[in-house]
Amino acid sequence: MSDLAELAADAYVYGLPVVANLDAVHLFTRRGVGPMGPAPFNTFRHAHSLPGPKETDVGGGHDTVPSIAHLDLSGGPLLLRVPDTARRYYVLRFVDAWTGTFAYVGRRATGTAAGAFLLTPPDWSGEVPAGATRLSAPTTVVSIVGSWACDGARDLPAVRALQRATTLEPLDGARPSAAPPSPESDVDGAELLFFEKLRSRMRAFPPAPAELEYQQRFAPLGLLDERSPYADPSARLAAALRAGHQRGARRVEHAAANGGGPETNGWKPTYGAFNHNLDFFEVGTVRSPSWVLADRDEARTVRAAAARAGLWGNHGYESACAMAWNDGDGHRLDGTRSYTLRFEAPPPVDAFWSLTMYDMPHYQLVDNPAGRYSIGDRTPDLHYDRDDSLTVHLQPERPADRAEAANWLPTPPGPFRPVLRMYQPHPAVFDGRFTIPAITRRGGS
């Protein structure tokens, strides 16, 4: 049973992305998520405000407004049209059922002029409309996860206009033919239900050819069976699946907590968290050794950790993210103290950068009287020193000094975690020429 349980643990790590992803798709299309209500397949749902401190799912932080559409391409291709954004930053990332980001449309990837893109299902061989760019989807279910740069509440009407102008329409009247498969309802217990979901979704959404042989390993678990073996499994199989579920979950939790690059100056970068797609590269993706993992076993673990810790995220070359738990001396960040963060030079980006404040452990924006949840190069009236450096002040109370108050990012009274996001980062972010400075505790506080 031990070998079978270990095989089940491998299957859990392998299958968590497709299970978690399609569970999220199911939730979104039926109930909605966060500020966005439910939307049927092949329809955009847009947020119409920046996230606030009461929301637990803040997506890209407090700099962008999200748009999401879940697609069912089983009935045929869909034509996506995007407007001219007049140089405004935006990104639409295209995620397959297994959570692989296989294409990008947006300022970095395709520019900001108006354009048309045809999303086609696997093995489609029709004619692409004139002027449209084809995006070949690896699976019939695809998620479009969009982010629009927004400079505060007064900029929201312009963002809404761009959202309305972003449209999806079926090609030649195509319609979705089926939603993702539902698992059998008479499976007993969350652990067995997980494997039933994985079995049905493996059949509905075949992986890349390079992964087919790996899937064959799971035949002894019943994951390749045409009909579910989990409604009435043998005692040996049920025990192995339950034990494997627990072992696999521990492995994923460890990978999610300890993955990413090495900690530097108290900052933990997540630049490579979404480098697990090894097989499908359409418009806007970067297929280079720096952004594609060489080892498939490692890629499967990284994919599972990303599904656990942050579905639908960007590659680092689109937006690089780093978070801090500790100050430069290794002490946990806590709002009972005051801190500074001094940038001798701003983060090198082609779009913009921001530092967003979250409380711990809830990972929510920090409510404060000033209504300031992030600070960055688009924040009005920042105070730069004579040498063009920028010092950010992190503390609960508004600083008395006027210049410090201009650069104030409020913290909660307890533990906190700031996140630095760099949109369209320069190579210097990744090759060591730019290092995020340490957060420094102010003396005597």
Per-residue pLDDT of 155-209, as tens digits, reads 999 999 999 999 999 987 767 665 666 666 688 899 999 999 999 999 999 999 9
For residue 63, CA distances in Å to 178, 282, 389 come to: 36, 27, 22
CA atoms within 13 A on the CB side of 225: 13
Q: Residue 248: inside a domain, yes or no?
A: no
Q: Which of the four pLDDT bands, split at 50, 70 and 90, describes residue 259?
A: confident
Helices (H), 31-122: none
Q: Which of 157, 173, 189 is the last residue of a domain?
A: 173
CATH number of the domain residue 108 falls in: 2.60.40.1610
Q: Which of 173, 199, 230 is the last residue of a domain?
A: 173
Q: Residue 59: inside a domain, yes or no?
A: yes
**Angstrom distance (rounded) from CA 299 to CA 368:** 40
Is pLDDT above 80 for 298?
yes
For residue 295, CA distances in Å to 13, 301, 302 come to: 15, 10, 11
Q: Which of 123, 150, 173 is the last residue of a domain?
A: 173
Q: Residue 97: inside a domain, yes or no?
A: yes
Cα dihedral across residues 247, 253, 256, 257: positive or negative: negative
Q: Residue 28: inside a domain, yes or no?
A: yes
**Angstrom distance (rounded) from CA 285 to CA 278:** 11
CA atoms within 13 A on the CB side of 393: 18
In degrees and rounded to multiples of 5, residue 305 shows phi and psi of: -65, -40
Q: What is the pTM of this model?
A: 0.94
Q: Residue 201: inside a domain, yes or no?
A: no
**Angstrom distance (rounded) from CA 336 to CA 410:** 12
Q: Residue 65: inside a domain, yes or no?
A: yes
Is pLDDT above 60 for 59?
no
Residues 70, 25: contact at Cβ < 8 Å? yes
Q: Which of the four pLDDT bands, split at 50, 70 and 90, describes residue 42?
A: very high
Per-residue pLDDT of 416-437, as tens digits, reads 999 999 999 999 999 999 999 9
Report the domain count for the chain. Answer: 2
Is pLDDT above 70 for 1?
no
CATH number of the domain residue 416 falls in: 2.60.120.1600
DSSP for residue 6: H
Per-residue pLDDT of 319-364, as tens digits, reads 999 999 999 999 999 999 999 999 999 999 999 999 999 998 878 8
Q: Report the chain's mean pLDDT, rounded to a whole number.
A: 92
Domain range for 28: 18-173
